[in-house]
Structure 1
Amino acid sequence: MPSLMVKLYSVIFKYQQKHLLQGLIETPESNKSNPFGITSRPHESIAASNPSFTDGVATKDIRANPYSSLSLRIFLPDTAVTSSLASSYQIPNYGGYSPVEGRSHRKLPVMLQFHGGGFVSGSNESVGNDAFCRRIAKLCDVIVVAVGYRLAPETKYPGAFEDGFKVLNWLAKQSNLAVCGRLGAQNHIFDSFGASMVEPWLAAHGDTSRCVLLGVSSGANIADYVARKAVEAGKRLDPVKVVAQILMFPFFIGRTPTHSEIKLASTYFYDKTMCKLAWKLFLPKEEFNLDHPAANPLIAGRQPPLKCMPPTITVVAEHDFMRDRAIAYSEELRKVNVDAPLLDYKDAVHEFATLDVLLQTPQAQACAEDVSIWVKKYISLRGHEFSY
């Protein structure tokens, strides 16, 4: 069984989240719509970014799109910096790491991370998500780009999904801008958000030909959508290549209940009632259906075929209402010869890995290590480790 600390925090979480969901449901529709969107709720505890290497990881925030609230937090592990660059950590006018032009830089895979929160809460800058992304950046030796997608109900489906794919396209544009910069032409090139500036950390250290998608809870639904869109886009995304995805306790549901959805209907953290409220807030009223393609990964006719999906590792927890549908999706991927292992953690609850800053469970550290071992076989070095 989960520890007493986990049980107590679950009670507090469910009280707060149900209050938030019910309040949003009762808000008049005219007050919900906000095309610009929001990416964080007032109750979220936010961790400040720090562009110097603290605990082995430097972070910075980017407002990715001037036309919406879409934001990014970049996590750069210090393994990206060679010893010859040690003296360049502090820049007087900036106070953080800045790559030095004309020197070699180690290239790392790029991992897009989508936080959880039932589409209606959570943040890429929250204390829990910040700690989780730092852990993943160090263990996997990757640049993590945590996506602050627009939340519901201010932005309904497909807003958050489109934000995810927009960031993948932004990565491709950034890679191309970096190449133009090395050719001395970046001042004449504009990316999809109308900015001609290259993001220096990604330009110096990012290898988008080794791109991984990581989604947590509702973020896993977004990651799966982005993976599907990447398959459909094919070479149009060059040089970005999605080589693997990580789905952690995905927020899947369906009209016909599974065994876990019956047995664990009132379990820890997200339960049946809360899930349905979240989906009502996320899906447009005329589209509300628990077998909606955004909710149920195994409805008939979803494209592209499952056999085209990238290698996919799925993480589930013993006491998670949504576990069975995630297991079924993983099984279907294996049936069509996709490398799709399943990691099932006993005595664990929904989002146990990203709540570890509060819960400090042994399963969370083990999960991060298990995921890093698997993903490294798909992000192993391709070509040259350094660029100029």
Structure 2
Amino acid sequence: MSQPFFPTTPATPDPDTPAPVLSKDVPLNSINNTSLRIFLPKKSLQSSPNSQKLPIIVYYHGGGFIYLSASSSMNHDFCFKLAEMLSVVVVSVDYRLAPVSRLPAAYDDGVEALQWLRTTDDKWVREFGDITKCFLMGTSAGGNMVYHVGLRVLQKTIDDFDFEPLKIRGLILHHPFFGGAQRTESELRLINDEVLPLKSGDMMWELSLPEGEDRDHKYCNPTVLDEDIDKCFDQIKLLRWKVLVTGCYGDPLFDRQVEFVEILRRKGVEVEEYFGDGCHGMEALDLNSNLAVPARFLVILHIVVCDDG
């Protein structure tokens, strides 16, 4: 499959750079050729040893499981802005892509990134990041990953695996990429959407789901539940994780996202939602905009991530 061209941005680890955020790449799994790009607000380097450490956002990028990387300029710029404007450490995961590595490969890489985070001696993480205040965040396919990586973490917790000292405090699903065999009203209304036309979404699922599976597989359709997932929902309540789902009315996936929120609430999970005007992934596409929507989005993120309440 030929890949379209997406511009990339190199990491900038040099503390003498004029940019307000530093970034660097570290390997995750050499066999799988996965890595992490870490973003650190440069002002942290001047902080005193007793300064409060920064929350950590583990970020999973979008691209329908088949495109983009942590170094893609749109993803780099988005994580840069998150680190700068929220004063957080961002760990962006460069996971395996389909169709070479179909799901659940990306989910496995997402969990492996958390294993790395809990054991690493990386200076930026250990000196400046608070691994007891970690949030999983992802855009589009990355939002889907947040859900499924979260389920895997919860299942490991149920099975008595200890993630200490790492503590996950919440899940942030930014325009999550969900689907299903039955078409929704928003999909049909926006069938030729400029950002995510229906045929493109279908192709992404065809290339990324396990061979022979359709869009009613649980990786795609969040309405497909089982006893293990119900136990994970109970664990979310027990651990008091925060859950935020964001989206836009002009997204073909809007109905799926609303349905996902309703499922969580029926299961007793406390979830915050933020839906506004715009298109699929709009804040990631245009976080530099002076429009009010990205500004409100950042305010909501700040409340979720930086509020100790």
Q: Which residue of 2 aligns with 1:293?
A: 218
What is the CA–CA distance in structure 1 between the aligned matches of 2:119 and 2:37, rounded to whole Å? Answer: 17
Larger Rg: 1
Check conservation: 2:22, 2:40, Cα contact below 8 A: yes
What is the CA–CA distance in structure 2 between the aligned matches of 1:83 and 1:270, rounded to whole Å? Answer: 43
Q: Does 1:350 align with 2:273?
A: no
Among 58, 77, 81, the residue aligned to 2:22: 58
Q: Which residue of 1 aligns with 2:141?
A: 218
Secondary structure of the corresponding residue to residue 145 of structure 1 = strand
Q: Which residue of 2 aligns with 1:76?
A: 40
Q: Which residue of 1 aligns with 2:115?
A: 169
Check conservation: 1:80, 1:205, Cα contact below 8 A: yes
| 1:119, distance to aligned residue in structure 2 (A) | 0.6
Secondary structure of the corresponding residue to residue 367 of structure 1 = helix
Q: Which residue of 1 aligns with 2:293?
A: 363
| 1:148-201 Cα shifts (integer Å, max 9, x gaps) | 111111111111111001111111122xxxxxxxxxxxxxxxxxxxxxxx2111
Structure 1 residues 140, 358: CA separation in 2 closer, same or farther (over 3 Å shift)?
Answer: closer
What is the TM-score when the length of structure 2 is the normalising length? 0.89
Q: Which residue of 2 aligns with 1:204?
A: 127
| 1:82, distance to aligned residue in structure 2 (A) | 3.8
What is the CA–CA distance in structure 2 between the aligned matches of 1:361 and 1:307, rounded to whole Å? Answer: 38
Q: Does 1:45 align with 2:7?
A: yes
Structure 1 residues 262, 307: CA separation in 2 closer, same or farther (over 3 Å shift)?
Answer: farther
Among 192, 197, 219, the residue aligned to 1:271: 197
Q: Which residue of 2 aligns with 1:122?
A: 68
Q: Does 1:160 align with 2:106?
A: yes
Q: Which residue of 2 aligns with 1:308?
A: 235
Check conservation: 2:143, 2:177, Cα contact below 8 A: yes
Check conservation: 2:56, 2:88, Cα contact below 8 A: yes
| 1:214, distance to aligned residue in structure 2 (A) | 0.3
How many residues are paired up? Answer: 298
| 1:325-360 Cα shifts (integer Å, max 9, x gaps) | 1111112222333221111111x0011111116877
Q: Does 1:238 align with 2:164?
A: yes
What is the CA–CA distance in structure 2 between the aligned matches of 1:56 and 1:135, rounded to whole Å? Answer: 10
Secondary structure of the corresponding residue to residue 252 of structure 1 = coil
What is the CA–CA distance in structure 2 between the aligned matches of 1:312 and 1:132, rounded to whole Å? Answer: 20
Check conservation: 2:39, 2:91, Cα contact below 8 A: yes
Structure 1 residues 83, 280: CA separation in 2 closer, same or farther (over 3 Å shift)?
Answer: closer
1:308-387 to 2 correspondences below 5 Å: 308-309=235-236, 310-346=241-277, 348-356=278-286, 361-377=291-307, 380=308
1:13-32 to 2 correspondences below 5 Å: 23=1
Of the structure 1 ranges 51-60 and 236-245, higher mean CA displacement relative to structure 2 is found in 51-60
| 1:321, distance to aligned residue in structure 2 (A) | 0.6
Unaligned runs of 5+ in 2: none
Structure 1 residues 203, 105: CA separation in 2 closer, same or farther (over 3 Å shift)?
Answer: farther
Q: Which residue of 2 aligns with 1:67?
A: 31
Check conservation: 2:242, 2:304, Cα contact below 8 A: no
Task: Give the alignment's Cα RMSD to 1 decimal.
Answer: 2.1
Letter in 1 for 2:229: P
Secondary structure of the corresponding residue to residue 304 of structure 1 = helix
Structure 1 residues 64, 357: CA separation in 2 closer, same or farther (over 3 Å shift)?
Answer: same
Q: Which residue of 2 aligns with 1:94?
A: none
Secondary structure of the corresponding residue to residue 29 of structure 2 = coil
Q: Which residue of 1 aligns with 2:97?
A: 151
What is the CA–CA distance in structure 2 between the aligned matches of 1:357 and 1:249, rounded to whole Å? Answer: 14
Secondary structure of the corresponding residue to residue 237 of structure 1 = coil
| 1:74-101 Cα shifts (integer Å, max 9, x gaps) | 01113433445xxxxxxxxxxxxxxxxx
What is the CA–CA distance in structure 2 between the aligned matches of 1:42 and 1:67, rounded to whole Å? Answer: 25
| 1:308, distance to aligned residue in structure 2 (A) | 2.8
| 1:54, distance to aligned residue in structure 2 (A) | 4.1
| 1:94-125 Cα shifts (integer Å, max 9, x gaps) | xxxxxxxxx55642121100000101101111
What is the CA–CA distance in structure 2 between the aligned matches of 1:128 and 1:359, rounded to whole Å? Answer: 13
Secondary structure of the corresponding residue to residue 354 of structure 1 = helix
What is the CA–CA distance in structure 1 between the aligned matches of 2:193 and 2:94, rounded to whole Å? Answer: 28
Secondary structure of the corresponding residue to residue 283 of structure 2 = coil
Aligned sequence identity (%): 29
Of the structure 1 ranges 245-254 and 257-266, higher mean CA displacement relative to structure 2 is found in 257-266
What is the CA–CA distance in structure 1 between the aligned matches of 2:203 and 2:31, rounded to whole Å? Answer: 29
Structure 1 residues 166, 83: CA separation in 2 closer, same or farther (over 3 Å shift)?
Answer: closer
Q: Which residue of 2 aligns with 1:256?
A: 182
| 1:280-309 Cα shifts (integer Å, max 9, x gaps) | 1112322x2101111011213163323433
Structure 1 residues 267, 366: CA separation in 2 closer, same or farther (over 3 Å shift)?
Answer: same
Structure 1 residues 302, 324: CA separation in 2 closer, same or farther (over 3 Å shift)?
Answer: farther
